[in-house]
Amino acid sequence: MSETIEQRIVEEQRTATCTVCGTDFEYIAEGLVYLVGDNPRPLWKPKRTVCSEQCADDRETQRAAEAQVDAERERIRQANRLQQMIREIDEHRIWPRYRTNLELVDEVVQLPVDASVILSGPTGTGKTYQAWAMWRRWAIAFAQANHCIPEAHFYTAPDLLERLRRSFDGEPVRLSTNSMLVIDDLGVERPTEWVMEQLYRLIDERYRMRAPLIVTTNLNGRELRARLGDRLVSRLAEMCHAVRID
């Protein structure tokens, strides 16, 4: 049979200093003694730190005020950090010639930050500036949510294809589906079978992973289909909002 352990409550008068008003006060401390062994020691309840209910209420008010101050300090710290990241994005991610005129057109402002978009229109209408403005808006939202600055995966179509070619020679192209990809001037590349297959695989992966994509092109839908084929353009049409810039 297991041995029954006796226990009893003990009391002791103590003196403490109120942590709110600084007044010395007396109180009865309680402890629990387990009558085991030759020299049992009581387990005391936590000592009192306030002298009255009023001081207890004042302490809670003080703690709430301190928490509010801490929260405001953290908000300011986060805001300052975000401004630092925005400067980093503007000065070190965006290509120098495109760091001005980054105002979004109305059709784009209404779209979600992570929307996939195909921008079409004649040469010289500012499609590349608009693509950078969209990437900047997305990058700032990414930095705010993740507390880090994303890489700028911004390529002209010929440059992206050249990087893909080099990847077969051991130079991997890392196009994270967590990042926004921008393909500028789609349709200027020579549409070989290899080119169309690589572009389709790249765009289809982003479609399946719901990864954001921005495409600019000088061609309209009919011209783009004639150059790159129905399969690739149909995939773009499924995943992208079409915005015309004239």
Which of residues 145 and 191 earns the better pLDDT score?
A: 145
Neighbours of 125 (CB within 10 A): 16
Distance, in Å, from the CA atom of 127 to the CA atom of 184, rounded to the nearest integer, reads 9
pLDDT one-digit tens code per residue, 83-116 = 999 999 999 899 898 988 889 999 999 999 999 9
Which of the four pLDDT bands, split at 50, 70 and 90, describes residue 1?
Answer: very low
| Distance between CA atoms of residues 107 and 59, nearest Å | 54
Question: What are the b/e assignments for 29-52, b being 16+ CB within 10 Å?
Answer: beeeeeeeeeeeebeeeeebebbe
Look-up of token digits 């500012």? 126
pLDDT in tens, 30-46: 888 776 666 667 787 77
CA distance 105 to 121: 14
Band (171; pLDDT cuts 50, 70, 90) = low
Please indicate, yes or no, whether the overall pTM of this predicted structure exceeds 0.75: no
Judge whether 161 and 195 are in contact, CB under 8 Å: yes
Work out the average pLDDT over 206-235.
93
Q: What is the arithmetic mean of pLDDT over 11-40? A: 83
Give the residue with greater pLDDT, 86 vs 176: 86
Alpha-helix residue ranges (DSSP H) falling in the chain? 53-92, 106-109, 127-146, 157-167, 193-209, 221-228, 230-239
What's the mean pLDDT in 167-176? 67
Q: How far is CA 6 from the centre of its chain?
A: 58
Distance in angstroms (rounded) separating the CA atoms of residues 30 and 122: 85
